Amino acid sequence: MERHVDIGDMTGAAYGPGRSTAQRRAVAAAAASFAGAFSADDLAERVRGTDPEISRATVYRSIAAMTASRYITEVGEREGSALYTRCAESGHHHHVVCTGCGATAHTPCPIDVAGAAAAAPDGFVVTSHEVRLYGLCAACSDVARDADGCSCDADAAPTDPATA
């Protein structure tokens, strides 16, 4: 839920190796501008505000580069498309995505907390895992209780509640 976005370093490459191009900088800035989760389309749409000429292929390639350099992380999916979030935290953890407003929050890895034994029965050795959590942020769950419109201020693209 917290935000550690250092905008202001958009003069150089905002993430990892690779060349610093106007498009890449624009995409990185757009990614950082989301308070929560965003899809490739959300990102593309937002980048168009900066660079209307940017191509979808470039957005996808930038997402791949940002994911590889851990500038962003895939946190779930919505309607068949992947959701990402800007995350500057190091260490193994996961994210909860608010299905109401797209806000995200960190969570410790439940598998680490539960212990390997629980996850690896019968001699299985767990080598990798994926944990995706969906829910409602404090603001959206208040709203849900009040049966009113969502009023939280996250500017991420809203998610279809049906997905939950």
Report the interface residues with its own copies, using CB under 8 A. Answer: 1, 76, 96, 98-99, 105-108, 110-111, 113-115, 118-138, 141, 164
Residue 41 binding DNA, by CB under 7 A = yes
Count of residues near DNA by CB under 7 A: 28
Per CB under 7 A, the segment of 13-21, 96-104, 128-136, 147-155 that binds DNA is 13-21
Residue 57 binding DNA, by CB under 7 A = yes
Q: How far is CA 4 from the centre of its chain?
A: 13
* Alpha-carbon distances, residue 97 vs 16, 77, 126 (angstroms): 25, 10, 25
Q: How far is the CB of 152 from its own copies (least distance, A)?
A: 11
Asked if 75 contacts 130 with a C-beta cutoff of 8 angstroms, the reply is: no
The whole-angstrom separation of Cα 7 and Cα 101 is 22
The whole-angstrom separation of Cα 43 and Cα 38 is 6
Q: Please identify which residue in 33, 62, 73, 104 interacts with DNA, judged by CB under 7 A.
A: 62
